[in-house]
Structure 1
Amino acid sequence: MQHLTLFTLAITLIATICLAKSPYQSVLQHSRIRGRQHGPNVCAMQKIQGTDKKYFTNCKQWYHRKICGKPTVISYECCPGYEKLSGEKGCPAALPLVNIYNTLGVVGAATTKMYSERAQLREEIEGPGSFTFFAPSNQAWAALPTEILDALVSNVNIELLNALHYHMVNRRLTSEDLKHGSAFPSMYQDFNVHIHHYPNGIVTVNCARLVKTDQHATNGIVHVVDRVITAVTNNVHTFIDTDDDLETLRTAVAAAGLTQMLESDGHYTVFAPTNEAFEKIPPEMLKRILGDPVALRDLLNYHILKNMQCAESITSGTPLETLQGTVLEVGCDGSDMTLNGKAIIQKKDQLGTNGVVHYINELLIPDSAKTLLELAQGSAVTTATKLFVDAGLGSHLSGSEALTILTPQNEAFKEGVTMTGELKKLLKNHILKEQLSSGVLYHRQELETLGGIKLRVLVYRNSLCIENSCIAAHDKTGRFGSMFTVDKVLTPPMGTIMDVLKADDQFSLLVGAIQTAGLTELMNQAGPHTVFAPTNDAFSALPKADLNKLMGNPQELASVLKYHMAKEILVSGGVGSHTRLKPLQGDKLELNMTVYINKVPVVEADLMATNGVVHAVGTMQPSYRSGRRHALFPRDERTLVRKVQINPRTTAKVLVKMLEETGTKVSISTVKRVLYRHNLKGRSARKKPLLQNPHKKARLWFTTAHGDKDRTFGEMSSGLMKQK
């Protein structure tokens, strides 16, 4: 029953909110539903602890119990337009409909009512007409600076009356009429009031938040706002042009050719860096950006949002798109407005006719205005950055060449790494000769480095790699170059797989085995190849008799070695959970993320070659025991069946394992045809669980018949038929 009740509540909530006509109405409906357990027309409100700020609650705020990072307290109040009745639950009564003047006294705007009488506005808002009054709350008047309030009340017939008239529109406007980005002529010289209706349900007029909406009156409607608003006559560029604190910004805007845009119609949000903000930037960097029109334009556009965002509209961190094309996270921390999590806004909500200006004390520099060196210095690749500079490559990274730098994470380097000639050469091969984006890379694409070698792009399901180094973070695009953060130091390919094996003493036995098996040419071919290379220890771990027999049979040796080879390139960064690789001979190899092959750890991964990659393994794959196969599992059917009868489960497991070790490519359907013709179904009941399954029968008979490597499967099938 409880689940049914919750389900019904959820359906009601969704249906009611979907019927709402505006974001504000959606939030109001949500608050109604949360409050209805307390009676009719009760709305749930969230109040930020330690303040008087209240909000109708939405889903996110309800469950998080936080607004602007601060805890909230839930209270239940009458929804707009309703009041309590003594002895009754909730708010069953509609507020009496009276004129605007009298309405002000009951909606928390008594101070506005008092000033309306002093300014001789009472008669107008008591009489006939249809007005909208954006009435400052009592707290709004109390927060007004003393000098401004004194100037208003010292000349009530002009200044105060004009100020109050600017809060009025000569028509009835409900919250539904207050569309985002709309403007309405006020009753003070037709200067517009500017409305913004945000997706989170917050509505502002000249960046003042409507705290009580839709308070109906006989001659209009009252919306209570949280501040006294002033007439807006200048555009946002005028703020920049006339404020000495923005002198450097003013020069930059003119140099970038943005003056006309900031004077034109629009709904911009400008985060205006003060002179102090510019002074915090290293002089060389600032000089370079100011002298580069493209970088300067990107820098300034990064400070401008496409939409107008008042401070009161923010209740949590929200990513907002800039004119530069990237996003800023605009948020709040208590009463502070934040940018990218930092409280750097020192003056907010300077309203213009075409937007709003917020003053900031730190300059925001986008990646697109930075050099490669500056990109690297601002990331978690400080070790690589220092090494690039120590290697004498700093001029490439701070110049205007179109390059891409592959910067290993700090963890990729051993502690105390020092510069050597070999390391300088290696670092040069971490710089590509063109500016790239990871989004345009494709599998087996070749990229040329400053060192003159070609690197391969390797694309896997969950990773994108360049040789053995895989991209570990989103690439950054600078003014002239791009930076890819990679998970390890890159190993450029040097020579073929055969060259790699010959150059490493741990593979001396493998090199001899490859030559004996006649696979040298294969290992020198273009590829791509992945080789799981058994080390000398892997060969030595075999019983001497088995090893001698294997090395004395080139055909069987080739089959075993081909089980260690695949016709594709797979580096360790491309290995996920249960990655499968088809070898040149036999069933699939299974690898996992750390890199294990068939549950055996790889000794050394990612030895890169021009035609593939080598991974050193300490165990032969599969475990090889040539000398015991015939003794344990005779090839005649009768003896084999007796063994199955004695211990069918164990015998089946070993036989299937032997099948995996053979590496012979024969279709299962061919084997099944032989089995059906042998008619093995009539055996005793003890062996039926094994023999009545066609696949297990096929594996059983194929393994049994496969003892002689010199005979083809067709020949063995014929032999079996004769045995029957």
Structure 2
Amino acid sequence: MRRVPQWHLKLVQRQGPNICVVEEVPELNRKFYTECRYWFRPKVCGYQTVLRYVCCEGYSQAPGEIGCKQEADLLNVVDTALQMGATYFVDYLAKSGLDQKLKHSKSTVTLFVPTNEAFESLTGIKREIFKTNLNSTLLYHITENRIMTTDMENEMMLTTSLQPQLIRVNKYANTQVSVNCIPVIRRDHRANNGVVHLIDGILIPPRNWPLKEISEVIAEDGRFNELIKFLNKTDVFAHLQENSMKSFTLFAPYDEAFQVMEPSLLDQLSEDLFSQQEIAKSHFIPYTICPFAITGHHKMQSLSKHNTELVCNQTGLYINDSPITDEIMLTQNGLVIVIDKVIIPQRVKTLYALIGDKRERLSKFKSVIDNCPQVAAALKSLNQSFTVFAPRNEAFSNLTTSELREIYANCEKFCFTHMVHDKVTTKEMANGQVLSSLQLPRTLECSISRRGFTVENSSIEEADIDARNGVLH
């Protein structure tokens, strides 16, 4: 949590008592109603938030007064929803006849109420489902008892009035709460017969109940045949069955995503069990992660025990460099989120592929490698491992034309001078250690100082980039 600047504290204090903050992101049409008026996000998905002050839940402002001192009377859940601006939902309740039952209910209830904007954006199949199944869809937004967000726990399943169907609650460290991956944007509005939570979408009851497991959902969908073939070569489904009480998120690429993979990588995957396992596990997060909760740059462990990057920026939402779509499927043991590209972990790629990925910094070194078929073949091979000390483009820029010609004329000698056998990470380097390069008898001396690591007086600027067949510095 960032420390709140003094200017912000003073600004909030001038607003008076019972004031809360709304953080708006106009570019994304998103709002964050915070429970603490001193807490704020500096940016959401690369956009600066705009702060607005409103009365906290249960209070109102009298004309001419500073702050919100008037305590509002408690209403029933329907009138509370209307007071929060959810006119469409209340109209649908009246149309179905549920409004009178809720107004005069002798037992407490919890309403998850969609915003008017959620109804206005409802299109296609979801709109038809809602209209055709109005009564059952509305019941899916109601649960028994007064359930405050403080009563909710991550992965909690709540029984709805559309029995026996349930909704899944998720809570995140950044204070966000969701039901079925729909964000709760205004929470805990007390009513005299329950509580109302305003949500940023409409809860559509699943067509099939009880929900099926991840493996069954993708098998029945028909668009993930290549993914299923791939997963069947690994032990991932067995792992899910062994941990049936846990929830997972599968980032599932369409069949077309496999068809556009590089042929060399497909060949590697057909023979290399390690690569198969790593790629398969990289598509699974061992808990439920809803896309809306990603508001910046986040690192989390995938099923492979390695970090996966989830990023939301001004161009979109990504897992590593794979775009995340807005299609989410609920399952008994988690979520399936559709992505447009197969996730290829860095550690599965060969040294040759990694150097190619870093073309902005290593394009000139890559050009020298491509001039030497034997070097390129070694960096692509999985039969042995190497450590490569790759010079940046700037290093080549300092050379004369004749020096560059000499490098290309003796490209094998040049490349092998920058390579040693086996993986040598900075964890294994010692000050004064001498490494034998592939270009014998040339050796490379390592040095360590407070500034970092050097090899032959050249600083290692980015260390320990793990590859399938070695490590890149």
Using the size of structure 2 for normalisation, the TM-score is: 0.85
For residues 409-435 of structure 1, the C-alpha deviation after alignment (integer angstroms, 9 at most, x for no partner) is 222233543456755334323221212
User: Superposed, which structure 2 residues align to 1:30-429 within 5 Å?
Assistant: 35-49=12-26, 52-56=29-33, 62=40, 64=42, 66-126=43-103, 127-145=105-123, 147-154=125-132, 159-231=133-205, 233-262=211-240, 264-333=244-313, 336-340=316-320, 344-379=323-358, 380-391=361-372, 392-400=374-382, 401-413=384-396, 414=399, 415=401, 416-419=404-407, 423-429=411-417
Any conservation in 2 of the 1:49–1:71 contact (CA below 8 Å)?
Answer: no
Higher gyration radius (CA): 1
1:563 alignment partner in structure 2: none
Residue by residue, what CA displacement relative to the aligned partner does 1:18-52 show, whole Å, maximum 9, x if unpaired? xxxxxxxxxxxxxxx96452332222212222565
Q: How many Å apart are 1:168 and its aligned residue? A: 1.9
Instruction: State the shift of 1:130 in Å.
Output: 1.8
CA contact (8 A) 1:271 1:358 kept: yes
Q: For the structure 1 residues 70 and 246, does the alpha-carbon distance in structure 2 shift closer, same or farther, using more than 3 Å as the test?
A: same
User: What is the Cα deviation at residue 205 of structure 1?
Assistant: 0.8
Change (3 A) 1:304 1:219: same
For each residue in 1:546-567, what CA deviation from the matched residue of structure 2 results, as whole angstroms up to 9, or x when unmatched? xxxxxxxxxxxxxxxxxxxxxx
Question: Secondary structure at the residue paired with 1:253?
Answer: helix
Which amino acid in structure 2 is aligned with residue 372 of structure 1?
L
Shift of 1:399: 1.0
1:634 match: none
In structure 1, how many angstroms separate the alpha carbons of the residues matched to 2:357 and 2:99?
A: 61
Which deviates further from its counterpart, 315-324 or 374-383? 315-324
The one-letter code matched in structure 1 to 2:167 is V
* Cα distance, 1:256 vs structure 2: 2.0
Distance 1:310 1:63 in 2: 19
1:404/1:481 contact within 8 Å kept: yes
Q: Does 1:440 align with 2:428?
A: yes
What is the Cα deviation at residue 365 of structure 1? 1.6
Measure, in 2, the Cα distance between the counterparts of 1:212 and 1:349. 22
Q: Distance in 1 between matches of 2:340 and 2:389?
A: 33
**Equivalent residue, structure 1, for 2:437:** 449
Contact 1:318 1:331 in 2 (8 A): yes
The one-letter amino acid of 2:424's match is L
Cα distance in structure 1, aligned partners of 2:112 and 2:336: 22
Alpha-carbon offset, residue 389 of structure 1? 4.0
Equivalences for residues 410-559 of structure 1 within 5 A: 410-413=393-396, 414=399, 415=401, 416-419=404-407, 423-453=411-441, 454-484=443-473
Flag the structure with higher helix content.
1
In structure 2, the partner of 1:499 is none
Paired residues in the alignment total 451
Task: Say if 2:371 and 2:408, in contact at 8 Å, map to a contact too.
Answer: no
Structure 2 Cα separation of the partners of residues 460 and 80 of structure 1? 56
**Aligned residue for 1:29?**
none
Contact 1:277 1:363 in 2 (8 A): yes
| Greater Cα shift, 460-469 or 248-257 | 460-469
Distance 2:307 2:140 in 1: 35
Question: Matched residue of 1:309: which SS?
Answer: coil
- Name the % identity: 24
Whole-angstrom CA distance in 1 between matches of 2:411 and 2:125: 68
C-alpha distance 246-450 of structure 1, shift in aligned 2 (>3 A): same
The Cα offsets for residues 159-209 of structure 1, whole Å up to 9 and x where unpaired, read as 323222222221221121122232222222233211111122211111111
Q: Which has the higher contact order (CA 8 A, sep 6+)?
A: 2
Residue-by-residue CA offset, 1:288-339 (whole Å, 9 max, x unaligned):
1243221122123223334422122122232333233443432334594234
Deviation at 1:221, TM superposition (A): 0.9
For the Cα contact (< 8 Å) 1:252–1:290, is it kept in 2?
Answer: no
Cα shift readout 1:111-143 (whole Å, capped 9, x = no counterpart): 222222332323432211121111222222222
- In structure 2, give the amino acid aligned to 1:371: T
Q: How far apart are the structure 2 equivalents of 1:125 and 1:73?
A: 36
Partner amino acid, structure 1, of 2:25: I
Q: Distance in 2 between matches of 1:377 and 1:465?
A: 23
Change (3 A) 1:273 1:184: same
The SS at the match of 1:139 is helix
Is the 1:236–1:355 contact (alpha carbons within 8 Å) kept by the matching residues of 2?
yes
> Which secondary structure state, in structure 1, belongs to the residue aligned with residue 445 of structure 2?
strand
Q: Report the AA paired with residue 295 of structure 1.
A: S
The 1:225–1:398 alpha-carbon spacing in structure 2 relative to 1, beyond 3 Å, is same
Q: RMSD across aligned C-alpha pairs, in angstroms? A: 2.9
* Larger proportion of strand: 2
- Aligned-residue offset at 1:223: 0.6
- Partners of 2:423 and 2:79 in 1: how far apart? 69
CA positional deviation for 1:377: 1.4
Distance across 2 between alignment mates of 1:480 and 1:145: 49
Name stretches of at least 5 consecutive residues in structure 1 with no aligned partner. Answer: 1-5, 14-32, 485-724
Which one-letter code corresponds to 2:158 in the other structure? F
Change in CA separation of 1:353 and 1:36 when aligned onto 2, cut-off 3 Å? farther
1:496 alignment partner in structure 2: none
Q: Secondary structure at 1:256's aligned position in 2? A: coil
What amino acid does structure 2 have at the position aligned with 1:459?
I
SS of the equivalent of 2:390 reads strand
Cα distance in 2, alignment partners of residues 116 and 304 from structure 1: 39
Gaps of 5+ in 2: none
- Distance of 2:385 and 2:92 partners within structure 1: 66
TM-score when normalising by structure 1: 0.57
Give the conservation status (yes or no) of the 8 Å contact 1:385–1:407.
Answer: no
1:177/1:417 CA distance change after superposition, 3 Å: farther
